[in-house]
Structure 1
Amino acid sequence: MITRNTTVDLLLSRIRTGRVDLQPDFQRQAGIWRATGKSRLIESLLLRIPLPTFYAAEGDDEAWAMVDGIQRLTTIAQFIEPAAIDQAPLRLANLEYLGKEYDGKTFDDLPGRLQTRLRETELIVHLIRRGTPEEVKFNIFARINTGGLPLSRQELRHALIPGKGREILREWAESDVFRSATSYSVRSERMVDREMILRFIAFRLTSPHDYDHDDFDRFLREAMRSLNTLSVAEVERLWAEFVAAMRAAEAIFQQHAFRKRDRAGGSRRMPINKALFEAISVNLAEFDGAGRAFLGERRRKVEKEFVGLMNDVDFQGAISQGTGDPGKVRLRFGLISEIFESVAER
């Protein structure tokens, strides 16, 4: 890792020329930082209050993937050079110290001396050099990822593993079939939806029976890298399996798809469970169309067996804690498979 002392102007130049990757779809739907928060960041710069250090990873093309400080840098760009990130100009609002004199003002409205002050503000960027082993890179960012709104694991994977997989996960997460199967209840701000889909893909590329990783996060990183290398035909095959699994899960479990069930079979709806999502969807993907349709026709029997499974202490543990443990992975996939197979055989 090296430390670069740079200026706002130089970073904006990198953004303009595409040498800083701000991940536009990585902004947690751009709704976490409101106008007041953005304005007060600019106010801090105007008051010469130092900003926290930025962290980035250098790619093979020498572009920087910003990992810590994305919201700050995006805000600065939106205020000074909004066209560089295809955003409407930021107008200052609700400033704490500079008063109403600057409320409603854009960068162009500021006096020249303040414009210069902003552009010449010095920033510190800790840069992980290209060629750094991926495992080391992720460990470093996991250690420094302790800010006010730390990145989720999927956000880190998204930032540090560029490629077509990013777009595939986004498109599938936004698909009607996924959103309907999950009752429109999976929020996208922290990329929870994309991680769920990555889990499905990971266990379609590697059978749960062959899973032997001691690091589930590394397993998902490997899957994301593999996704980047798949052919169009392979992606289309996975997509067809995913669509079929989503439709079947919704038909069988309806509003309770991918959720734990009350052990007494009550109607209270639980939150979506990631471990159940992968176990149910991957098992359904292994059936042919006729088999999935048959399970849908006998959904009451599937539901009865599934509710009964909620009384299995080992199964509860396999979908609740330490879900990346190989034994728990095989257990939950195996028991869900047994339910589907037993109903299909009757």
Structure 2
Amino acid sequence: MTDLESQVSAARREVSADTISMSVSELTNLYKEGILIIRPEFQRLFRWSTEQKSRLVESILLGIPIPSIFVAQDSGGKWELVDGLQRVSTLLQLQGLLPSSGTPNGPLELTATTYLPDLEGRSWGAAGKRGLSDAQMLDIRLARLDLRVIKRSSDPKAKFDLFQRLNSYGSTLTPQEIRTALIAGVNSDVLTWIHKLSQHESFVQSLSLGDRLLDEQFDLELVLRFLMLHNRELKGKRGGLGDFPTKLDNWVIDFAEKFPAGAKLLESTFMQTFDAIDQAGSESVFRKWDDGKNSFRGGFSSTSFECIALGIAFHVANGSSFRDDVIGAAKELWSKIIPEELGTVTGLATGDRFAKTIPIGRKLMSRK
């Protein structure tokens, strides 16, 4: 057997999958019975517009094939949705079964589409002209979907890689949204724990992120960056952080597989760091200091976060003293350190930026 054949054989053992044809009605029943699982954390990813949802219904009524839906079998045999959230959630919302679809159990009200302009204002089960007919609802319920079932014997890292690839073909999901989905697939308790950290009051207050960044789960990514980097030994080119998104993916999947090992200490460091920042200056700390205007200006600054939050956390984790004049440190960062030592980090790859900001932050935040 050649090396390539051996590699193909080994990789196939890592991902074991079946293809199943199933009606919308059968899939709906699996959801109602709790066999098909859409985790609450995933609801933040359900971002289709009414027009996009209506086009899916149009496709089904016209018999246009729908792309395959991927699910991963958990240790108990249940199916966790891996790819197809928008399609499955739309079908559930259409039937009034999606808890977060506006009013409780309220069905989707469709809009006009290219080929079916009379879909405008129609909904599932409504009487008269506002409702889909019994025949149309039956057509939707009996429409067939292809499901790819990733068996529970598959390697979790292989599931993660598959999900990344599926969502690289024209998807609008951010890397963190993809990462969130697979964390839940490996160990849903980890995702619950990360959400708890992201909602810690002093963390929320100090970041003061806008709605767009919250929708894209940037707060969760900052939590993961903090956990991975605050006490990390930086060595080699780029501090060993080249291709950082992949490094973060690998770190978080390894952490999820070992959870709760190490979580208690990480949580303590996280809480102590942001409580100290909140007491010292809250949301001003992660903004740019303008000497000319004598004020903090602009939105959230990743550079400030990496220097100050990770700098404090390094000393918390190692039991060393850190300076408590956080506002003074933030001013010094922008007035002196960035112009003299750091220079511009705009446009640098993430790993290259970390290789500069993290050591500076550890030095800046040490008690002098």
TM-score (norm 2): 0.75
The sequence identity of aligned pairs, in percent, is 23
For the residues of structure 2 that align with 1:106 and 1:9, how far apart are their CA atoms?
14
Structure 1 residues 153 and 61 mapped into 2: Cα distance closer, same or farther (>3 Å)?
Answer: farther
Q: 1:37 aligns with which of 25, 44, 52?
A: 52
For the residues of structure 2 that align with 1:90 and 1:184, how far apart are their CA atoms?
32
Map residues 118-137 of structure 1 onto 2, 5 A cutoff: 118-137=140-159
- For 1:295, the equivalent position in structure 2 comes to 325
Q: CA deviation at 1:182?
A: 1.0
Q: CA deviation at 1:120?
A: 1.2
- For 2:76, the equivalent position in structure 1 comes to 61
Q: Which letter maps to 1:308?
A: K
Asked whether 1:5 is paired with 2:21, we answer: yes
- For 1:139, the equivalent position in structure 2 comes to 161
Structure 1 residues 89 and 258 mapped into 2: Cα distance closer, same or farther (>3 Å)?
Answer: same
Q: 1:117 aligns with which of 117, 136, 139?
A: 139
| Residues 263, 310 of structure 1: 8 Å contact kept | no
Map residues 187-206 of structure 1 onto 2, 5 A cutoff: 187-204=213-230
Structure 1 residues 279 and 194 mapped into 2: Cα distance closer, same or farther (>3 Å)?
Answer: same
Structure 1 residues 59 and 335 mapped into 2: Cα distance closer, same or farther (>3 Å)?
Answer: same
Structure 1 residues 141 and 21 mapped into 2: Cα distance closer, same or farther (>3 Å)?
Answer: same
Q: CA deviation at 1:228?
A: 6.3
Q: Deviations over 1:221-249 (max 9, x none)?
A: 333542564449x5454334323322433
| Residues 56, 65 of structure 1: 8 Å contact kept | yes
For the residues of structure 2 that align with 1:91 and 1:302, how far apart are their CA atoms?
49
Q: CA deviation at 1:313?
A: 6.8
Aligned to 1:188, the other structure's residue is in SS state: helix
Q: Which letter maps to 1:106?
A: W
Instruction: Number of aligned residue pairs: give it.
Output: 335
For the residues of structure 2 that align with 1:148 and 1:334, how far apart are their CA atoms?
37
Q: CA deviation at 1:257?
A: 2.7
Q: 1:257 aligns with which of 285, 306, 319?
A: 285
Q: Which letter maps to 1:310?
A: I
Structure 1 residues 224 and 111 mapped into 2: Cα distance closer, same or farther (>3 Å)?
Answer: same
Structure 1 residues 259 and 58 mapped into 2: Cα distance closer, same or farther (>3 Å)?
Answer: farther
Q: Deviations over 1:69-111 (max 9, x none)?
A: 2011111012225168885232323222444576243246433
For the residues of structure 1 that align with 2:99 and 2:282, how far apart are their CA atoms?
45
Q: Which runs of 5+ in 2 are unaligned?
A: 1-16
Q: CA deviation at 1:160?
A: 1.7
Q: 1:156 aligns with which of 167, 171, 178?
A: 178
Q: 1:170 aligns with which of 182, 185, 195?
A: 195
| Residues 24, 141 of structure 2: 8 Å contact kept | yes
| Residues 20, 66 of structure 1: 8 Å contact kept | yes
TM-score (norm 1): 0.79
| Residues 258, 273 of structure 1: 8 Å contact kept | yes
Q: 1:78 aligns with which of 72, 87, 93?
A: 93
For the residues of structure 2 that align with 1:201 and 1:17, how far apart are their CA atoms?
37
| Residues 260, 310 of structure 1: 8 Å contact kept | no
Q: Deviations over 1:193-220 (max 9, x none)?
A: 111111112235x524477455533443
Q: 1:92 aligns with which of 96, 109, 112?
A: 109
For the residues of structure 1 that align with 2:158 and 2:320, how far apart are their CA atoms?
47
For the residues of structure 1 that align with 2:95 and 2:242, how far apart are their CA atoms?
46
Aligned to 2:350, the other structure's residue is in SS state: coil
CA RMSD of aligned residues (A): 3.6
| Residues 39, 91 of structure 1: 8 Å contact kept | no
Asked whether 1:283 is paired with 2:299, we answer: no
Q: Deviations over 1:305-345 (max 9, x none)?
A: 4432222575644x7522235xx53432111111122xx21
Q: Which letter maps to 1:94?
A: T
Aligned to 1:50, the other structure's residue is in SS state: coil
Q: Which runs of 5+ in 1 are unaligned?
A: none
Aligned to 1:5, the other structure's residue is in SS state: strand
For the residues of structure 1 that align with 2:117 and 2:69, how far apart are their CA atoms?
28
